[in-house]
Amino acid sequence: MSAFSLAGRTALVTGANTGIGQAIAVALAQAGADVIASGRRDCDQTVALMGQVSDKAGRSLTLDFADPMAARDVFAEQPIDILVNNAGIIRRDDAVDFTEADWDAVMDVNAKALFFTCQAFARAALPRGRGKIVNIASLLSFQGGIRVPSYTASKHGVAGLTKLMANEWAGRGLNVNAIAPGYIETANTEALRADPDRSRAILERIPAGRWGRPEDIAQTAVFLAAPASDYVNGAILNVDGGWLAR
């Protein structure tokens, strides 16, 4: 069997209805996994796309991480081998004007929900001695950004929690790693790409000379979910076209 095969594995991808999460779900299905695509809204389109690349049906699951404990019972109900924490939100305002409500909303979804979803997964997976967690971090796990204080704090937290969980669980068969996407062609960056000056400034900083595609993140997720990465623990992989190297 290929070191990149996910045959016989079941994966849960959060925030899988569009963009990066959707691409990850499709790529995992193509690699052979039975994929549960979850989101605040239905993931029917994602399930249909998975059906085009896999003979497995794929499934949709509604999870709204406005409740950080939304996934607390998911892993007790069925064996899941791979967890991809992609769900996340962002709120923008100057730090001097940022509200407590916007702070709490972002931290609940991006940090608190991620931790307690990982915890629920680990409680089910540790007795089996096998499992893979892939968290979606950000360039703002390393940089400060502007006008996104809670998002920056949450993504720094994702990087730290990824390392902490790897420290605790690597010796017990669970691999915990994260991907830090660069500037990716999704709905979230549509306004940036439509602004000629901003788009040009971003591209000038990216050594690869192009915006990333959701598939760039998806294939990295396949690697981190597959046996090929069995000795990778606590890593935050930058998939950014070289942005952080510039």
Known catalytic residues?
Answer: 151
Residues 6+ apart with CB under 8 A from 111: 153, 154, 157, 158, 161
Closest to 239 measured CA to CA, from 216, 210, 215: 216
CA–CA separation, 84 and 195 (whole Å)? 32
Question: Which amino acid belongs to residue 199?
Answer: S
Question: Which among 189, 119, 125 is positioned nearest to 161, based on CA atoms?
Answer: 119
- Collapsing DSSP to helix, strand or coil, 183 comes out as coil
Long-range contacts of 205-211 (CB under 8 A, 24+ apart): 205/243, 205/246, 206/182, 206/240, 206/241, 206/242, 206/243, 206/246, 207/241, 207/242, 207/243, 207/245, 207/246, 208/241, 208/242, 209/241, 210/241, 211/183, 211/184, 211/185, 211/241
